[in-house]
Amino acid sequence: MTTIGVLGLQGAVEEHLKQIESLGLQGIVVKKPEQLEEIDGLILPGGESTAMRRLIDQYGFLEPLKQFSDIKKPIFGTCAGMVLAANKLVGSEDSHLNIIDITVKRNAFGRQRDSFEAELDIYGIETPITAVFIRAPYIEKAGENVEVLAKLEEKIVAARQEHILVCAFHPELTADTRFLQLFVQMIEDYKQIAV
């Protein structure tokens, strides 16, 4: 049975669990670092990256999360989760997990477009998905080993590097599970090589 954990410190946790379960997989809320050992892949949800980082430090998650990535277990960062995963943030000296070679701009679509929906073509998905953006970041620069999966108005909004998948939108807020299935496939691939 494939088990996907959702980092449960802050943000949109429940919606991810529902989507995971709708695919017949097991979803668990990860509230303690030890739980990382029980899961095949981890979702870093949307929410508020600065608040999430504070809680990551408070609950001793920083090193365990980096180790989880070091052994190439798949991680999927959505929105604030993408901010956490990035190795550089525009206008800031600080970054968080440094597990994907992207430079992310936070709250990047401006106040006027605080939250909106867009039809998005995603590499690897046959027809467009409806993507929900909420105070969304975008990827200003992607390293050469990063695969760009989607762009909106020339801005990169979904990408993958090896075992790390990120998107600027909230795939858990629609009934369409196809983006999550990209992540599930990464987990299945990992399990193949890990045995």
48 is in an annotated binding site: yes
Q: Is 107 in the site for ligand GLN (CB under 6 A)?
A: yes
Strands annotated E in 56-192: 75-78, 86-89, 100-105, 115-120, 129-134, 138-142, 147-152, 155-161, 164-167
Please name the residue that has the structure tokens 């075992």: 163
Q: Is 20 in the site for ligand GLN (CB under 6 A)?
A: no
Q: Is 80 in the site for ligand GLN (CB under 6 A)?
A: yes
Residues recognised as catalytic: 79, 170, 172
Q: Which is nearer to ligand GLN, 149 or 167 (CB)?
A: 167
Please name the residue that has the structure tokens 């980082």: 53
* Footprint (CB under 6 A) of ligand GLN, residues 44-73: 46-49
Q: Which of 161, 17, 136 is nearest to 75 (CA)?
A: 161
For residue 138, what are the β-bridge partners? Answer: 105
Binding mask 119-158 for ligand GLN (x = CB under 6 A): ---------------xx-x---------------------
134 is in an annotated binding site: yes
Three-state secondary-structure class, residue 123: coil
Q: Which is nearer to ligand GLN, 68 or 133 (CB)?
A: 133
Annotated binding site for L-glutamine: which residue ranges?
Answer: 47-49, 106, 134-135
